[in-house]
């Protein structure tokens, strides 16, 4: 079961079990979630979808809004900022498509900027799960609060779930080894890239707020950040956690550039340097600058 399929199953269950939950869609996922008195399909009107979610929150419901990433975050950004944020209302936004899952549909369906855009607004918790099992845990936690929560789903997934909250250390290297932090679905490729490298490898599915306490406890002088969206999105968060230490940060992710070819998700991942070979090459170049004193 993919993350998206798991979410639809969880949404159906939530509607049946919790009278507070309401789901708002815009012609995406509507049939999969199915008919229900508290499932509102507003048609291809994503700005209205967020407005309806805000109205439901005002009436005491826990609204869940769902669409493809660019239609959920970028197109109704003003409504997310004002209808939800400015009014102090909570909602759960669940996207699908991630940065380039729908690459065959062209640039209209790609949104590597989404996490950076939402992180520019105050009060958002942002989850980037790397496995369908993690979706279940994060979605349940989001429904139990009245916070503003974004859950970013993708067709890419790690070979296994990671249990634990915040930054979870999976492998420790020597005292001087670089600290490699993989976000969400980048973990499997990151583990391949560092299999024979002296490195501490950690994982997180939550980037806002970022677990700065574990970073401070585990990271040394070099940090490699691997994110499945716009490169550098969480660099400032890492730097803030380690503000009083001399730290070099290598930020890997989708570059700020236009990729006009369609292709498959795996081809985009490789083009962005987020496959195992690309991650390894970037880490080696980064560590070589230290050896040269650069």
13-55 tens-digit pLDDT: 999 999 999 999 999 999 999 999 999 999 999 999 999 999 9
Q: Which has more confidence, 84 or 244?
A: 84
Question: How high is the pLDDT of residue 195?
Answer: 97
The verdict on domain 3-152 having CATH code 2.60.40.2550 is no
Q: Which residues contact 73 (CB under 8 A, 6 or more apart)?
A: 80, 93, 95, 111, 114, 117, 118, 150
Question: How high is the pLDDT of residue 292?
Answer: 59
Distance, in Å, from the CA atom of 240 to the CA atom of 96, rounded to the nearest integer, reads 30
Instruction: Check if the beta carbon of residue 178 is closer than 8 Å to that of residue 283.
Output: yes
Distance, in Å, from the CA atom of 271 to the CA atom of 254, rounded to the nearest integer, reads 9
Mean pLDDT of 217-224: 92
The overall average pLDDT reported for the chain is 96
pLDDT band at 261; cut points 50, 70, 90: confident
Q: Report the predicted TM-score, pTM, of the whole model to 2 decimal places.
A: 0.96
108: closest CA among 262, 255, 229?
262
pLDDT surpassing 80 at residue 290: no
Percent of the chain past pLDDT 70, that is, above it, reads: 99
Q: Which two tokens stand for residue 264?
A: 């498959």
Q: How far is residue 162 from each of residues 199, 204, 222, 266, measured CA to CA in Å?
A: 19, 9, 24, 22
Question: How high is the pLDDT of residue 289?
Answer: 87
Distance, in Å, from the CA atom of 11 to the CA atom of 34, rounded to the nearest integer, reads 10
pLDDT surpassing 70 at residue 73: yes
pLDDT band at 259; cut points 50, 70, 90: confident
Architecture of domain 168-293: 3-Layer(aba) Sandwich (3.40)
Question: How high is the pLDDT of residue 80?
Answer: 98
pLDDT per position as a tens digit, 112-135: 999 999 999 999 999 999 999 999
Q: Which residues contact 285 (CB under 8 A, 6 or more apart)?
A: none
Question: How high is the pLDDT of residue 291?
Answer: 63
Mean pLDDT of 49-64: 98
First to last CA, the chain: 46
Instruction: Enumerate the domain spans of the chain.
Output: 3-152, 168-293
Question: How high is the pLDDT of residue 293?
Answer: 56
Least confident of 138-152, 222-236, 277-291: 277-291
Mean pLDDT of 132-142: 98
SS3 readout for the chain = CCHHHHHHHHHHHHHHHCCCEEEEECCCCHHHHCCCCCEEECCCCHHHHHHHHHHHHHCCCEEEEEEEHHHHHHCCHHHHHHHHHHCCCCEEEEEECCCCCCHHHCHHHCCCCHHHHHHCCCCEEEECCCCHHHHHHHHHHHHCCCCEEEEECCCCCCCCCCCCCCCEEEECCCCCCCEEEEEHHHHHHHHHHCCCCCCEEEEECEEECCCHHHHHHHCCCEEEEEEEEECCCCHHHHHHHCCCCCCEEEEEEECCCCCCCCCCHHHHHHHCCCCHHHHHHHHHHHHHHHHCCC
Question: How high is the pLDDT of residue 116?
Answer: 98
Mean pLDDT of 155-166: 95
Distance, in Å, from the CA atom of 3 to the CA atom of 54, rounded to the nearest integer, reads 25
């Amino acid at each position: 079961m993919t993350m998206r399929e798991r979410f639809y199953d969880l949404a159906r269950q939530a509607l049946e079990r919790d009278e507070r939950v309401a789901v708002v869609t815009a012609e995406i996922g509507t049939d999969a979630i199915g008919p229900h008195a508290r499932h509102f399909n507003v048609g291809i009107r994503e700005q209205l979808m967020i407005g309806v979610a805000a109205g439901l929150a005002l009436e005491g419901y826990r609204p869940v809004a769902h669409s493809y990433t660019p239609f959920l975050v970028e197109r109704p950004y003003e409504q997310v900022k004002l209808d939800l944020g400015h009014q102090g209302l909570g909602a759960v936004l669940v996207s699908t498509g991630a940065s380039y899952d729908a690459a065959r549909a062209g640039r209209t369906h790609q949104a590597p900027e989404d996490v950076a855009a939402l992180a520019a607004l105050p009060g958002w918790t942002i989850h980037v799960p790397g496995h369908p099992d993690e979706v279940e845990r994060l979605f349940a936690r989001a429904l139990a609060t009245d916070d503003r929560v974004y859950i970013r789903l993708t067709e890419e997934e790690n070979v296994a779930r990671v249990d634990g909250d915040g930054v979870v250390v999976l492998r420790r290297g020597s005292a001087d080894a670089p600290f490699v932090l993989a976000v969400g679905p980048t973990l499997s490729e990151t583990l391949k890239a560092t299999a024979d490298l002296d490195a501490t490898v950690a994982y997180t599915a939550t980037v806002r707020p970022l677990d700065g306490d574990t970073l401070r406890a585990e990271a040394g002088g070099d940090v490699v950040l691997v994110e499945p969206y716009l490169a550098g999105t969480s660099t400032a968060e890492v730097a803030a956690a380690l503000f009083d230490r001399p730290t070099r940060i290598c930020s890997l992710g989708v570059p700020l550039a236009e990729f006009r070819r369609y292709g498959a998700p795996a081809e985009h991942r490789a083009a962005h340097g987020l496959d195992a070979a690309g991650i390894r090459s970037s880490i080696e170049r980064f560590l070589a600058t230290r050896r040269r004193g650069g």
